[in-house]
Amino acid sequence: MLGWAILFLIIAIVAGIFGFFGIVSAAVGIAKILFVIFLIMFVVSLFVGRRRSY
């Protein structure tokens, strides 16, 4: 999931350099959403992993 977020961030940076501002806003939005989902899944996995280690 983090890899996808980084990929869309790179797409946004490259599109911004070339002046495709519509693509930039879409790619940045997707990267933000994927990064938030990654963070939520990471925190949940931390708590679930700690609970099973008893």
Higher pLDDT, 1 or 42: 42
Residue 1 pLDDT:
66
Q: Which residues contact 44 (CB under 8 A, 6 or more apart)?
A: none
Residue 40 pLDDT:
92
CA 42/CA 50 separation, integer angstroms: 12
The pTM for the full model equals: 0.64
33 within 8 A of 4, measured Cβ to Cβ: no
3-class DSSP state of 1:
coil
20 backbone dihedrals φ, ψ, rounded to 5°: -90, 80
Tens of pLDDT along 11-48?
A: 888 888 888 778 788 888 888 898 899 899 988 888 88
